[in-house]
Amino acid sequence: MTKLALLFPVYNEATVLPWSVRTLTAYAQEALREYDWRIVVVDNASTDNTPAAIAALQHEFQDLEYLRIPTKGRGIALRRAWTDLDYEVSLYMDVDLAVSLEAVRTVVDAVAHGDADIAVGSRYAPGAKIERSVMRSITSVGYNVLTKLIIGLHTRDAQCGFKAIRKAVATQLIPLVKDNFWFFDTELLVHAERKGLRIREVPVTWVETRPALRKSKVNVLKTIVNYIIALCRLRWQMVRGQL
């Protein structure tokens, strides 16, 4: 059986984790029987009761794994998880499960069966369905336009928090990615495209609804500014032949 790691990178998600773990476990028990799967919570320097919530869940789910990382940054969390964990295929997803779980099997199969090196959930591929606020739609679409204009990225949805990858591919790309925060995903895909790796975009159903008490921790304005700076950095590297 293919070893599959289902990753939840989290920061202060004690309130939502029980629901997320139970929901994903129920899905995986039915839909992923052909895989040797386990759920791994990658705790990205949480300061709330996330460790206690995980300890309680591990009594309920003995195969649930916990990886504590003392430094914040989603890129840092994924670097550690992809490097340290024992798996053949890894899928990470946002803990609020904004992407419908029906897409899990599709992206995992694409990578595990050798049809793709990376499979990404896409909110802009034909067949995708999205429910979200007007402001989030504007910022998301605007960002994807910028990635095409500034760095020529072909992947239509760089930032959807739903990506599957083979360990050999992750190990190849990780040293090339400089960003340790939210831009990590975009930079990873830039290097993957430039190396000619096979990237499959899977249309997903994405709903901007979160369980009670769980609010987004992203500072939208700050993130947009950081994205633009990072895109310009990559463009400058391209111009100078350093990428």
**Is 108:32 a contact under the CB 8 Å cutoff?**
yes
State mean pLDDT over 168-185: 94
12 within 8 A of 50, measured Cβ to Cβ: yes
Residue 213: predicted pLDDT: 47
In the three-class reduction of DSSP (H, G, I as helix; E, B as strand; rest coil), residue 195 is classed as: coil
Query: To which CATH superfamily is domain 2-133+157-214 assigned?
Result: Spore Coat Polysaccharide Biosynthesis Protein SpsA; Chain A (3.90.550.10)
The pTM of this model reads: 0.90
- 218: pLDDT strictly greater than 90: no
- The domain segmentation of the chain, as residue ranges, is 2-133+157-214
Above 60 in pLDDT, residue 216?
no
Q: What is the mean pLDDT of the chain?
A: 91
**Residue range 64-98, pLDDT digits in tens:** 999 999 999 999 999 999 999 999 999 999 999 99
DSSP per-residue codes, 18-81: HHHHHHHHHHHHHH-TTEEEEEEEEEES--SSHHHHHHHHHHH-TT-EEEEESS--HHHHHHHH
Give the model confidence (pLDDT) of 121-135 as tens digits: 999 999 999 987 766
How many angstroms separate the CA atoms of 43 and 66, rounded? 7
Instruction: Say if residue 115's pLDDT is above 80.
Output: yes
CB-count burial class (<10 Å; 0-12, 13-18, 19+) for 12: middle
Mean pLDDT computed over 232-236: 87
* pLDDT band with cut points at 50, 70 and 90 for residue 61: very high
Q: What is the largest CA-CA distance in the chain?
A: 54
User: In which band, very low, low, confident or very high, does the pLDDT at 140 lie, cut at 50, 70 and 90?
Assistant: confident
DSSP three-state, residue 144: helix
